[in-house]
Structures are given as C-alpha cells and as structure tokens.
A and B are shown apart, each in its own frame.
Chain A
Amino acid sequence: AQRVTQPEKLLSVFKGAPVELKCNYSYSGSPELFWYVQYSRQRLQLLLRHISRESIKGFTADLNKGETSFHLKKPFAQEEDSAMYYCALRPRDDKIIFGKGTRLHILP
C-alpha cells in the first residue's frame, strides 16, 4: 500500500538551531516525493521536489531509497519558517498522497 508517514505532529525548535522534519514513505516503485508548506493564512504551496535536488529558503531534502525516507532539513531555523509542512508521494498512477503533516514552531 502507498503511504506517507510523518511521525511528528508538532516540532518546536529554537531560532538558529537545525531543523529536521521526518518523512517516510511506502511504495514499491520509483517514487516522486515533494514537500509542501502552508504558512498562516496562505495556500498550500510546493516547497521542493526531490528530482530537482534544489535548496529552497535554505531547506533541502534527500531521497534515501534504502531507508524509504525524504526528511526535510535546514541548518539554521528562522522565525518565518513557522508553518505546517506536508510530505507528499506521487506514484505512477498520479494519485498524490500526503502525510498527516508536521507543525513547525520556531521559538525566539
């Protein structure tokens, strides 16, 4: 079965500290994986995708097929990073599945 697991509902991190939001997936094929973010009073929007291997707003995520993980990382948290983060999986059939989300709270 296709599944995305985000084990933390809430993550509180001090400003300037490193951030890691965990995401594990279950899929037998080659996955397409994404991170979406929802800032307060804004739409859900794409943060980054694994195929681009890009860094957006200081965030990176590496696909680890051995561990079936796609954790989101940032070396130094900023207050504006406070938001809801969702990991998403797109199998070949185009059904895009999301995890339950992690609320990131940056403490001053």
Chain B
Amino acid sequence: DAGVIQSPRHEVTEMGQEVTLRCKPISGHDYLFWYRQTMMRGLELLIYFNNNVPIDDSGMPEDRFSAKMPNASFSTLKIQPSEPRDSAVYFCASLADRGAANTGELFFGEGSRLTVL
C-alpha cells in the first residue's frame, strides 16, 4: 500500500476562492481523520469518519468548512470561501478498526500546505 495519499501537496489561492483538498486512506482502514496544523494551535482535529459516516465534526471552525466521504477510498475537505486565516497544513490520517490488529496507530498523509492570499 502506498499509504495515505493527499492532494494537492501545495495550494496557493486568493481570498474568497473555493479550496478542495483530497485524501485517499489506506485500504481497509475504517477511520479517517482531518487535522489542521498551525504554529499557534498545533494539530487540531477538524472531523473524523467511521465507515464513511461523519462521527464528530465539532472541530470544524465554521460553516465555510465542509467534509465528505462518499466511499471508503476517498474524502474531501472543502473551504468556501477561503480566508487568509485558513492558511495551514491540512493532514489526513487513517486508522484500522479496534477489532482488527489495531495498535491504535494513525497513518498520516504528507499533508496539503494551503496559503490563502
């Protein structure tokens, strides 16, 4: 497996534009997490899914943020409209189910670095 795959790796956009970040989790993993990394706040959990169903989105900053997981192999995080304060690195991570040989280990993608001008 190639691991968790995220795209794009870098995105520079202007304030007000729509941004879509993509993630492909590790095959067979039941959980998918979206995190945002900034110097000030560290790694913030935005939302997580279990079997494609959103379980907790309390970390999503505001209505401008939305996330979907239409199937087990794909998820998107969308920001519309984007603002300069959204500039950060966004990570996707996946995790196997507790019932599996689950060590509780999160597998991270390489991240999507977003800059909103």
Contacts and interface: CB of A to CB of B under 8 A. Distances in A.
Contacts of B93: 44
Interface residues of B, number: 25
B35 A98 contact: yes
Interface in A86-108: 86, 88, 90, 93-101
Interface in B50-109: 50, 55-56, 91, 93, 95, 98, 103-106, 108-109
Which of A46, A90, A95 neighbours the largest number of chain B CB atoms within 10 Å of its CB? A95
Nearest to B103: A49
B37 to A, nearest CB: 8
Contact of A95 (B3, B48, B98): B48
B103 A95 contact: no
Nearest to B40: A100
A86 B43 CA distance: 8
Interface of A: 6, 32, 34, 36, 43-46, 49, 51-52, 86, 88, 90, 93-101
Given A34-B105, A93-B56, A97-B45, 12 more contacts: A36-B106, A43-B3, A43-B111, A44-B93, A52-B103, A93-B55, A94-B50, A95-B45, A95-B56, A96-B45, A96-B95, A101-B42
